[in-house]
Chain A
């Protein structure tokens, strides 16, 4: 069993739709990270959170420490949001990272 599970694996949405990507983890963490990877490989850190909720523009990330679950929401999705979204957790013992397998999002105009 992977330490980090993401769902769905693939997601296709119409422009303007509300999108949710889920991440569950099974280890103790210091923080959970949401990453975005565009075709070509570049990775951008979207959020790092250890509790509650964070918002950047149309992106919202939430985490429930008790349930070991996080969600990434995209409101009013746009074709430029098309990318792979990766959940990663930093362990609370040491600094090793564990990654989810990623969610490939395609937003159709």
Chain B
């Protein structure tokens, strides 16, 4: 099976712009989670989607949003970018996202730099 893919891999934006990142999960996986990783805060959970519905949300402002399509592909959007949004954004997929079906398979990440 192909792994989790993320596009783009690298992105440079300026403050105030918006950005959309894409994640394609492993075939058959219906849960997609998004994470932000920064040197200061480490890995933080953004949100999780299952069957096109946001099922869980971390503690991030409303500028961070996402969606999931019927083929389980997911996008996340960050509006009005701030310097502090510079980070590695990782997505991970799992079969159902619950209990012991929640082994996370990570994509390579999108490194976002906000200037």
Q: Which of B12-20, B67-75, B78-86, B97-105 makes up part of the contact surface?
A: B97-105
Majority SS at the chain A contact face:
strand
Query: Nearest chain A CB to B21's CB is how many angstroms away?
Result: 14
Beta-carbon nearest neighbor of B94 in chain A: A95
Residues of chain A at interface, number, CB under 8 A? 23
Q: Which of B42, B55, B56 has the most CB of A within 10 A?
A: B42
Neighbour of A95 across the interface among B44, B88, B98, B111, CB < 8 A:
B98
Contacts A95-B97, A96-B56 given; does A42 touch B109 at CB 8 Å: yes
On whether the beta carbons of B104 and A33 are closer than 8 Å, the reply is yes
A88 in contact (CB, < 8 A): yes
Q: How far is the CB of B91 from chain A (nearest CB, A)?
A: 11
Does B28 count as interface, using CB distance less than 8 angstroms?
no
22 contacts between A and B (CB under 8 A): A30-B99, A33-B103, A33-B104, A35-B104, A41-B88, A43-B92, A43-B106, A43-B109, A44-B106, A45-B104, A45-B106, A48-B100, A50-B100, A86-B43, A88-B43, A90-B102, A95-B98, A95-B102, A96-B45, A97-B35, A99-B43, A101-B42
Q: Which residues of A contact B (CB under 8 A)?
A: 30-31, 33, 35, 41-45, 48, 50, 86, 88, 90, 94-102
